[in-house]
């Protein structure tokens, strides 16, 4: 299962998308992704079972509790939580699922395939969420030069 540019474009076309793994700690990766996407005017909904809000935004305890208008989900959780969250998303009918690079397990792709669910995987959201900046912009350029960007 290879990630395509069309999958990535469709993911970002959703008016809202949820992020599983948003931390209360501003120094953690999940929180940095959330904060950066907000700064870049994406409409993101945090998921964290340990808090009711992050920066004044309602934080949902699980994928099951998300509003029905959420079409895309970014999974930034530790590996031990990823597959459970993936299954919840599939059961809820979320069609656009991105499993952040290094969050996937050996079972993640198998679960997606079992449910005929195409997922974005083995990709870093910072390389595609516009505007791409700093190291990620440089990295994307290198990947493009070597013909490794999804097409």
User: What is the pairing mode between strands 72-75 and 57-58?
Assistant: unpaired
C-alpha distances (whole Å) from 24 to each of 27, 42, 46, 68, 82 are 9, 19, 10, 24, 18
Residue 8 clears pLDDT 80, i.e. is over it: yes
Report how far residue 98's alpha carbon sits from residue 125's, in angstroms, rounded to the nearest whole number. 8
- Domains in the chain, start-ordered, CATH in brackets? 5-145 (3.40.50.720)
Report how far residue 52's alpha carbon sits from residue 14's, in angstroms, rounded to the nearest whole number. 24
Report how far residue 132's alpha carbon sits from residue 129's, in angstroms, rounded to the nearest whole number. 6
What's 91's DSSP letter?
A: H
Q: Give residue 145's pLDDT band: very low, low, confident or very high (50, 70, 90).
A: confident
Task: Give the pLDDT confidence of 101-130 residue by residue, as tens digits.
Answer: 999 999 999 999 999 999 999 899 999 999
Residue 151 clears pLDDT 90, i.e. is over it: no
- What sections of the chain are H helices per DSSP? 5-13, 29-39, 79-92, 108-114, 134-145
Task: Give the pLDDT confidence of 31-55 residue by residue, as tens digits.
Answer: 999 999 999 999 999 999 999 999 8
Please give the pLDDT value at position 54: 94
Task: Give the pLDDT confidence of 71-97 residue by residue, as tens digits.
Answer: 999 999 999 999 999 999 999 999 999
Report how far residue 103's alpha carbon sits from residue 40's, in angstroms, rounded to the nearest whole number. 23
Residue 141 clears pLDDT 90, i.e. is over it: no
In the chain, what percentage of residues exceed pLDDT 90? 83
Residue 1 clears pLDDT 80, i.e. is over it: no
Residue 105 buriedness (CB in 10 A; 0-12 / 13-18 / 19+): middle
């Amino acid at each position: 299962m290879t990630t395509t540019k069309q999958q990535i474009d469709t993911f970002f076309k959703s008016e809202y998308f949820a992020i599983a793994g948003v931390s209360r700690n501003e120094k953690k990766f999940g929180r940095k992704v959330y904060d950066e996407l907000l700064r870049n005017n994406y409409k993101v909904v945090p998921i964290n079972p340990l808090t009711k809000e992050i920066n004044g935004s309602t934080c949902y305890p699980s994928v099951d509790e998300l509003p029905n208008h959420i079409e895309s989900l970014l999974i930034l959780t530790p590996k031990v939580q990823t597959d459970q969250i993936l299954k919840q998303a599939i059961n809820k009918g979320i069609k656009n699922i991105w499993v952040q690079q290094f969050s996937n397990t050996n079972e993640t792709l198998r679960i997606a395939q079992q449910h005929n669910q195409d997922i974005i995987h083995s990709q870093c959201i910072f390389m595609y969420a516009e505007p791409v900046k700093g190291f990620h912009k440089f990295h994307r350029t290198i990947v493009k030069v070597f013909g490794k960007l999804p097409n």
